[in-house]
Copies of this chain bind each other. A is one copy, B any other.
Amino acid sequence: MHARFYAPTAHSPGDVVALPVDEAVHLTRVLRLTRGDRVIVFNGHGQAFEAIVQSSGKGGVEIVVGAACDAAPEARVAVTLVQSILKGDKMDDVVRDAVMVGVAAIQPVVAARSEVTPASLERGRRRERWERVAVSSAKQCGRAVVPVILEPQPFAAIATLIDERQLSSPAMMLVEPQAGAAVGSLGDLDGPPPREASLLIGPEGGWTPEEIALASDRCRLVTIGGRTIRSDAMALVAMAALFARWGEY
C-alpha cells in the first residue's frame, strides 16, 4: 500500500501538480521518498489517483497524476457537525475523530460556555489548524474527501443559519436526558435515513438553557443514554450511533 498525500490541484490523469508545503515535507523528510517513487494522491473533493514523484527538492515536490483509484467510501448521510469549541487541544481531537468516522463538514461554534472568543480563534489561526488536522485525518482514514471546516460562528448565528435553511436538515441537538420533556432518543428517529443532517454538540459545561430554548424550536433534541459522555468523545459516539441507526454499518 503506497503512502497517501493531499494534492488539491490533482484532477485528471496526466496532470503534473505541486504538493502543498506540508505534504512535500512529509513526503521528502518523513517518508524519504524521491523521484520515481509511487504514491497515492487525493484531491480532497472525492478523487484519488495513483501518482509518481517527478521531482523533489528545496523548491517542493511535483508529482505526475496517474490512473484514478478507489478511496474509502463516503458516508451515505452527509453530516455537518456543529461542534462547540472545546478547551485546549481537544477540538483538534474532535476534528480528527469526526473526519475519521465520516463527517461531511464541521461548523465550529462559540457557545456561551465555550471558554474562547472569536478574536482569540482568529489570532490563534485555529481554523487553519483544524483544516490541517482534517487533511491529516483524511490521509490516515483513507478518504478522498477533506471535510470543510467552516468559519466559527457564535451560537445565535447557528439559529439564523437554520432559519435560512443554510444548515443541513434535519438538525439534532445532543443534550443531557434531564434537559426537558421534549428530549427524545435515537430510537425515535423513524423513516428512511435522510440525505443530510446536522448534529449540534455542546461544550464541556453543556448548553445553557437559553441555547436549548433557542434550538428547541428549530432542532430535534436528542440524548444518548444515561452515562455521561466526555464532551471530546461525544461527536464520535453520536456519529457512530447515528450511522448505525441509518444503516451505514
Contact = CB atoms under 8 A, between A and B. Distances in A.
Interface of A: 72-73, 75, 97, 100-102, 140-143, 185-187, 224-230, 233, 236-238, 240-245, 247-249
A188 to B, nearest CB: 10
27 contacts: A72-B227, A72-B228, A75-B225, A97-B233, A100-B230, A100-B233, A101-B227, A102-B225, A140-B228, A141-B228, A142-B227, A142-B228, A143-B227, A186-B244, A187-B249, A224-B249, A225-B243, A225-B249, A233-B236, A236-B236, A236-B237, A238-B240, A240-B241, A241-B241, A241-B243, A241-B249, A244-B244
A141 B101 contact: no
Given A241-B243, A244-B240, A229 B187 contact: no
A141 to B, nearest CB: 5
A143 B229 CA distance: 11
A190 to B, nearest CB: 13
Copies of this protein, total: 2
A114 to B, nearest CB: 20
Given A140-B228, A236-B236, 10 more contacts: A73-B225, A100-B233, A101-B229, A142-B228, A186-B244, A187-B249, A225-B243, A240-B240, A241-B243, A245-B245
B237 A101 contact: yes
Contacts of A242: 244
A248 B100 CA distance: 24
Nearest to A70: B226
A226 B141 CA distance: 9
A227 B141 contact: yes
A167 B97 CA distance: 30
A249 B185 contact: yes
A218 to B, nearest CB: 22
Nearest to A238: B240
Contacts of A227: 72-73, 100-102, 141-143
Most buried by B among A141, A185, A244, A245: A244
Contacts of A100: 227-230, 233
A224 B101 CA distance: 10
